[in-house]
Chain A
Amino acid sequence: MTTDPYTRIARMLRATALAVAATALALVVCVAGPSGPAGATSYVPVTGDGSSWSAGALDQWIADVHADGIQINYTSDGSTTGRNNFITGQSDFAASDIPFQTNPGDGSAPEHPQAGSYAYMPITAGGTVFMYNLKINGQRVTNLRLSGANITKIFTGAISNWDDPALAADNPGLQLPNQSIVPVVRSDGSGTSFEFTQWMISQNPGLWNSYCSKAGRAPACGSTSFYPTVTGMIAQNGDLGVASYVSQAFASGSIGYVNYYYALASHFPVVQLLNSAGYYTEPTPQNVAVSLLQDKVDTTDVNNPALYLTQQLQGVYTDPDPRTYPLSSYGYLILPTKVGSSFSTAKGSTLAAFAYYSMCQGQQQSAALGYSPMPINLVEASFAQIAKIPGANVQSINIQGCNNPTFTPTGVNLLAQTAPYPPACDKQGPTQCTTGTGGAVAVVTPVSRTSTAGPSSTTATGAAGAAGAAAASTAAGGGTAGSSSAATSQTCDPTTGACTPTSGSTGSADPSLAPTAETATLATATGWSTTQTLLLLIGLVLLALMLVPGLMSRRLERKRSP
């Protein structure tokens, strides 16, 4: 961690105060906003468009606030279109995964929003996943694991067959088929494409640059919203287009990038991506929360709209926490900060109420949709941004009324703090979990041991029962002590039934959600184990403690009174 969260929050609070002060004057004139929450009928319709990555959550919040008399019209047409429509005043707000591209590195036209016309506000946290359609002997694979380098090679054409030995190294339990890989990318201007290419450029620049040249883009090989394609690649429109393609029977062998939400809805598995700690993870709400602790969100100058609250994802890519999902990121709203063209304070009041709802109560719905609730530091920082919307009712934008599920009194993200650790079988090495991922969490993929010389399955099974309770408490302790101690807890959990090829007992448990601790608890819950034995022993000892002195004294007394 680079900045102390407490200083960060303090800084954020100062920023909030500044912003409040700055806008207060203007707001006095046009107050009128919904003073009491109930019966606030002064809302007016507001229109926006953009990101399909965030659309799953936005659509939900729009449906939620409809009951409160708020009408938000949102079109999921991609981040690039969203930003352009905002610039040209065709919308009241935009949703975009990335900031305005004032100096694009991919040769596209620069974007120039009017000075002082906007503010960024992170609104969704989630993971970009690789949804895939792969079968081995007719059986759907649901536990595919890949390193970042291998993902990059797949999306730059360096690996084109599933039986490539490099992929086998990630998947010791799978006999990947001799089948062409069909990468599926976005055809429209997409913030997801931008962030994906940014990650590849950061982590595997050589691979990307040679691909970029091959695709005819050089020298403009910076991060791009318009994914360069070559023969053999499929380009589809929006997250829905990519998910639609990958989920078809004819798309066997395909792999495409979408927000986690779409893979869940399609009931398709997602790649477990290798992180710096050597674990293959998926972007569960908890994992995303952990990952984004390393997302450096700019908080240097609340008055610099071009930078304030933008994200620097480098730290996420290399975060050593075993729970990290490297392609976690925030999705943003671009909020208007100026009354102009057709944007009024009445609209501002409504938009501010919607934005506040989204950051607070709305985040309660995030996890069920595959997003991760926003942490308190960004919620508070966002309040400063919401307050910049002309017409925002600043009095009502406060942390007290904010029912966000991640809050704790100490300011630490509850979700990140309690995030379970990955099971041992998700560690890079000879074992591979059998449990499914993403929307196919309940579908087990059997793994074979023939290809590797890992620890024998019997060893793993034998260790399970005995070490269960110990591992559980270690993992929990590691979690609270802070992510730095993660390394100790990861080494001490040789358990999890998921690892063992015997029995399909993992049917209902998702290993990435179910930490070792969970597995242990489940084990205790279902049968007699160490914990029960211990409890019984303690009980007996206590009973003895209770009765022995009395009885002893009686006996002693008897002896004493002959």
Chain B
Amino acid sequence: MNRPQRLHARRDARGGTRRGLLGAGAGAAVGLVVFLTVPGIQPGAGAAANPLAGSQGVVTTLPTTSSAVTVSGQGTYAGLKVSVNQTANLVDQAVSVSWTGGTPTQSSNTFQSDYLQIFECWGDPQSTDPVNTTDPGPLPNQCQFGAEATSSSAYPVKEPGFEYSRVLTSKSWSNYDPSIGWPDPSTGYVVSPFQAVDGTVVDQQADYNWNLNPFDPKPFWLNQYFRFGTSNEVDFARTYADGTGQQLFQVQTGLQAPGLGCGQQLQPVAGGGTKVPQCWLVVVPRGTPVQENPSGVDDPNVLTSPLTPSAWANRIAIPLQFNTVGSSCAINADASQIIGNEMASSAVASWQPALCNQPGSPTFSYIQNTDDQARQNLTNPTYGSAGMSVYTDPVDPSQADPSNPIVYAPLTLSGVAVAFNIQRVPVTLPSGLPQPDESLLAGTQVGTIYLTPRLMAKLLSQSYQGQLQDVSARKPAGYAWALHNPFDLLTDPDFLQWNPEFTLLAANYAINAGTALVEEPTADAASAVWQWILADPEAKAWLNGTPDQGMQVNPYYSTNPKTNPSGVAFGDPVPNNYPKSDPYCEPSNEVIGGVAVRPLCILDWSPYALTMQAGAQATGAANDGAKTTFNPAGTPNTAWGANGPQVPGTHFVISITDTASAARYGLQTASLSRAGDDTATRSFVAPDAAGLIAGEQAFVPSAVAGVLVPNPSTTAPGAYPLATLSYGATTPSTLTPAQRKLYTQFILYAIGDGQTQGVQTGQLPPGYVPLPGSLRLQALNATNAILNPPAAPSTPTPTSPATLNTAPSGSTANASTPFTADTGSPVPDAGTGSTPFSGSSAPHTARPVTLSLVHTSVLTAGDIRFFLPLLLLIGIGAAVGSLVLARTNKAVAGVAGAPTGPPAGE
């Protein structure tokens, strides 16, 4: 057996992940998710009427652009046509690679043969390329490919080979030729060196004799330009049964891929100077092991690198044109702080680099936090409070301070999305064969699903049997209600009636098919989801105990306090998070050291995400973080280890996230029915531009005058029920004039250039919808209110901590006094300006709340200090006064004395 030896452990049975876009994780906006469905359509109404393979949508590519290209393969692959939806004006973004005329991939889960490998390269066209003079491209050593992980479980293949490496050949192979690359003396491999754009060459990519020995560790990866997790290469892209395939590909600029330098002027030119390199998207179609492996290497898998000459000969090179990488913000610039929710954070992240290139280079730091924390920043400011908050639901007027009114400026319109990554697994017929129509689509991405408030209630209430592991076998006391519940969505007729194609599909991950990956912290977004559910009669009745075709609500989520074991009705008040209330656990049969391993519980098989963005990322990577894999090396309390990503082609993860994060990670999003639309012909609305705009039009006034809030219970036609608006909110009376100007500049950018949709820096990323004119006008008016706050507190005293920090020198003035603490105390102007007496009461009316509390303690000191100059002034006044009075006395005496009699002097 010539299979290359690696020191990795063999991969476990749980499968790996397809690398590339989703594995790379971080990155800027990914394109918009395409909805096959017209918003408001009625999917196959009526139960499972003629389920049609593919009816849930098969095309999930990004929209084509004017720079879309289609290129044919050559030789054996002449029938292969590869399209890229965008090849010009690229930034750090996703593009869609799709193809037709391919040979279906063999062994969908293990990628034994017939798949594509896709990666990014730089380099001048090689017109001397001996293999392909008509279609010149870069050299194989100019490609970012072969970023290996130390753990083979990171790959969706049974056993590791060289197909995801830069190893070209091995000493034991029949095609061994040390001259085609760098011969690695320690292994006998010949490796394709990586040539970076600046000319640096990295010969050795990895030390295959690496080890974890803590006394003499040998690191594995040696290439500084890219590594597993940062490389955007796609090692395994699958061709479906019909010969088509599609893959999102995250193109990288020089900022993400410094070895390629795309969009940066880094490539040395003969005779001096540098130029921007030509960059490429390279697709290498792979055939069968017989075609690909050197003779004598007998293996059921393709195990050679796409960079080997024979594979490289088949490559399709597509030129990519990048925008010049723009100048970024100055690091360490003094930033104005904004604390805000997740809904707006993708947009702000796009605006930040554009804002700092505006006049005055204003820099803003967006502290992402919960809506609650953002509100509290204004209502209960403490040390370190930010000058502006971003949240959805306005501050309850009873919590607000009337003397420091809050001004609201609409910033971003987006939505809460039920995003998913579901791949088709055809059901197995009684014959043992997969369902024939569906089997053609095996592994393809489902384009859309349709969800109702009741289905969402089911997903969020631990009511499917999959959320109660083994409940039907264990039949524990108190769980009789669960025994007739479906295991997951796919066995729930309620789901199938709106999503008939799923009658032909199975879920390999049934636990995931009965829940949604949600964030742990509180959020207005969560509150909107529950409002939508609780406003729907069908869902409300179900939550209150009315079974749906035998399926009952988990009593812990019952809105009936008599049924709910907690004794309190669920949903009152409306939750602003996603509780997992049922303490159900499944006892373990495993034993370690004679002690039973701890039971598995809900947080083990359905854990939380820290944020909605993290949830979206985990959904894209099909890795929800569940830990139910037994590790015998652990202790009875720690033996449950991470499951890792799901097997490719069988993904099933649903999460609640925001539309921008869904777009960023290339997720599909569910169309939702509106609360109250419980008819058999109900319509479903997608969170696309039309749905979000209609949703915005259904917004309702709040307790705060002029501030609209989302209306999840809307029944307006075409309105997406979970459309949300995020406001920039501030109390201008607590800001310095300079701060007011800065935050105004921020808002003006946000509602101006910041509303131009696109993936370029400064634009409104996919997933948002440009604000309608009325909201922009409201924001504009808000800037006026910020610049000219109501007269209430006359002196714009309070300094926020930000100013406090910018002027620490202020304390030198006070150094002699015992109150050095008040470095930033607002006095400088007032002190020198020696305001009239009335001024001394100003600090009392101007509420000290916006000062950090430390200031407040100083305020009394400030008062006293105020009085010293004042005293002096008044003293002088008194002196002058007495003089004047003395004079006037004389004058008066003079005048008065004139008629009375002769002055004494006479």
Binds A, one of B288-296, B768-776, B817-825: B817-825
Q: Is the CB of A237 within 8 A of B627?
A: yes
Interface residue B483 (Cβ < 8 Å from any Cβ of A) = no
Please give me the 5 A-B residue pairs with the lowest Cβ-Cβ distance, nearest first. A89-B219, A550-B885, A367-B384, A517-B857, A250-B583
Answer whether A553 and B889 are a contact pair too, CB < 8 Å, given A37-B330, A480-B819: yes
Q: Does chain A have a CB within 8 A of B310?
A: no
Contact yes or no, A88 B568, CB < 8 A:
no
The reply to whether the CB of B88 lies closer than 8 angstroms to some CB of chain A is no
Q: Return B39 CB to nearest CB of chain A, in Å.
A: 32
Our pick among A39, A531, A549 for the contact of B881 (Cβ within 8 Å) is A549
Assess whether A70 is interfacial by the CB under 8 Å rule.
yes
Q: Say whether B904 contacts A561, CB under 8 Å.
A: yes
From the candidates B370, B598, B893, name the one contacting A267 in the complex (CB within 8 A): B370
B332 interfacial by beta-carbon distance below 8 Å: yes
| Chain A residue with Cβ nearest B876 | A546
* Contact between B356 and A368, CB atoms less than 8 A apart: no
Beta-carbon contacts of B198-235 to A below 8 Å, as 1s and 0s?
Answer: 00000000010010101111111111110101100000
B728 CB within 8 Å of chain A: no
Q: Kindly identify which residue among A43, A414, A524, A550 contacts B255, using a CB–CB cutoff of 8 Å.
A: A43
Q: Determine the chain B residues whose CB is within 8 A of the CB of A385 once the complex forms.
A: none
Partner of B332, one of A284, A401, A515, A542: A401
Which A residues from 235 to 252 make CB contacts under 8 A with B?
A: 235-237, 240-241, 243-245, 247-251
Closest Cβ neighbor of A534 among chain B residues: B863
Q: Give B875's nearest chain A residue, CB to CB.
A: A545
Q: Does A271 contact B (CB under 8 A)?
A: no
The distance in angstroms between the C-alpha atoms of A64 and B365, with both chains bound, is 6
A-B contact list, 6 entries, CB within 8 Å: A68-B328, A68-B329, A90-B221, A240-B610, A367-B382, A549-B878
Question: Which chain A positions have C-beta within 8 A of B67?
Answer: none
- Nearest CB in chain A: distance from B665 CB, A: 15
Cα-based distance from A469 to B860 in the complex (angstroms): 8
> A414-B823, A517-B860 given as contacts; is B221 within 8 A of A89 (CB)?
yes
**Are A342 and B812 interface neighbours, CB within 8 A?**
no
CB contact under 8 A between A250 and B328, given known A69-B255, A88-B212, A508-B379: no
Known contacts A266-B521, A518-B857, then 13 further A-B pairs from the complex at CB < 8 Å, ordered by chain A residue: A67-B352, A71-B256, A88-B218, A90-B220, A248-B581, A340-B219, A342-B227, A357-B331, A361-B333, A368-B339, A405-B804, A538-B867, A557-B893
| Interface status of A264 (Cβ within 8 A of chain B) | yes
Contact, CB under 8 Å: B227 / A550 = no
A interface vs B, CB < 8 Å? 34, 37-41, 43-45, 47, 60, 63-71, 73, 84, 87-90, 109-112, 114, 138, 187-188, 226, 229, 233, 235-237, 240-241, 243-245, 247-251, 264-267, 284-286, 340-344, 346-347, 353, 356-357, 360-361, 364-369, 373, 401-405, 407-410, 414-415, 417-420, 439, 441-442, 469, 472-473, 475-477, 479-481, 508-510, 513-515, 517-518, 520-522, 524-525, 531-532, 535, 538-539, 542, 545-547, 549-551, 553-554, 557-558, 561
Chain A residues whose C-beta falls within 8 Å of the C-beta of B367 in the assembled complex? 60, 365, 368-369
Contact across chains for B580 and A71 when beta carbons are under 8 A apart: no
How distant is the Cα of A401 from the Cα of B897 in the complex, in angstroms? 73
User: Is there an interface contact between B372 and A480, defined as CB atoms closer than 8 Å?
Assistant: no
| B373 in contact with A515 (CB, 8 Å) | no
Complex formed: what's the CA distance from A286 to B855 in Å? 13
A550 CA to B880 CA in the complex, in Å? 9
Please report which residues of chain B, range 333-387, place their CB below 8 angstroms from some CB of chain A when the two chains form the complex: 333-335, 337, 339, 345, 349, 352-353, 356, 361, 363, 365-370, 372-373, 376-377, 379-380, 382-386
Given B222, B328, B636, B808, which contacts A408 in the complex, CB threshold below 8 Å?
B808
Flag if B339 contacts A476 (CB, 8 Å): no
Give, as a whole number of angstroms, the nearest-CB distance from B350 to chain A. 9
A476 contacts across to B, CB distance below 8 A: 819, 821, 857-858, 860-861
Known: A361-B334, A441-B380, A558-B893. A248 touches B854 (CB 8 A): no
Residues of A within 8 A of B630 (CB): none
Q: Is the CB of B568 within 8 A of A266?
A: no
Contacts of A550 in B (CB 8 A): 881-886, 889
Whether B69 is near chain A, meaning CB under 8 Å from some CB there, is no
Instruction: Using CB atoms, name the residue of chain B closest to A55.
Output: B610
* Interface: B106 (CB within 8 A): no
Interfacial residues of chain B within 564-612, with CB under 8 A of chain A in the complex: 566-568, 577, 579-583, 598, 603, 607-608, 610
Q: Which stretch from B134-142, B239-247, B839-847 is at the chain A interface? A: B839-847
B383 near A513 with CB under 8 A, answer yes
Among residues of B, the one whose C-beta sits closest to the C-beta of A470 is B860
Residues of chain B lying within 8 A (CB to CB) of residue A63: 345, 349, 366, 368
Closest to A404 in B: B805
Determine if B603 and A442 form an interchain contact, defined as CB atoms under 8 angstroms apart.
Answer: no
The smallest C-beta distance from B261 to any residue of chain A, in angstroms, reads 10
Report the separation of the CA atoms of residues A41 and B254 in the bound assembly, to the nearest whole angstrom: 9
Task: For A542, list chain B residues within 8 Å (CB).
Answer: 871, 874, 878
Residue B837 interfacial (CB < 8 Å): yes
Q: How many chain B residues touch A (Cβ–Cβ < 8 Å)?
A: 136
> Which residue in A70, A87, A368, A477 is a CB contact (below 8 Å) of B369?
A368
Q: State in angstroms the CA–CA spacing of A419 and B890 once bound together.
A: 58
Bound complex: CA of A361 vs CA of B885, how far in Å? Answer: 58
CB of B26 closer than 8 Å to a CB of A: yes
Cβ contact within 8 Å between A240 and B520: yes
Given A65-B331, A366-B384, A508-B379, check contact A420 B840 (CB 8 Å). no
- Tell me if B230 and A403 are in contact (CB < 8 A): no
Task: Give A476 to B860 CA distance when docked, in angstroms.
Answer: 9
- Check if B325 is an interface residue, CB within 8 A of chain A: yes
Closest to A406 in B: B805
A342 touches B219 (CB 8 A): yes
- Find chain B residues with CB under 8 A from A366 CB: 384
Task: Tell which of B331, B383, B567, B863 has the most Cβ of chain A within 10 Å.
Answer: B331
A111-B568 Cα distance, complex, nearest whole Å: 51
Minimum distance in angstroms from A425 CB to a CB of chain B? 17
Which residue of chain A has its CB nearest to the CB of B883? A550
Bound form: Cα–Cα A368–B352 in Å: 19
User: Most chain-A Cβ atoms within 10 A of its Cβ — which of B222, B339, B854, B878?
Assistant: B854
Given that A88-B212, A513-B853 are known contacts, is A442 also in contact with B368, CB under 8 Å in the complex? no
Residues of B within 8 A of A37 (CB): 330-333
Q: Any chain A CB within 8 A of the CB of B491? A: no
Query: CA–CA, A109 to B875, complex, Å?
Result: 77
Residue of B nearest to A480 (CB): B818
Is the pair B337, A364 in contact by a Cβ cutoff of 8 Å?
Answer: yes
- Residues in A with CB closer than 8 Å to B329 are 38, 67-69
B717 near A: Cβ within 8 Å? no
Whether A67 touches B821, Cβ cut-off 8 Å, given contacts A47-B230, A365-B365, is: no
| Residues of the B chain whose Cβ atoms lie less than 8 Å from the Cβ of A414 | 808, 821, 823
Chain A residues with CB below 8 A from B647, complex form: none
**CB-CB under 8 A for A364 and B365, given A45-B230, A518-B857, A545-B875:** yes
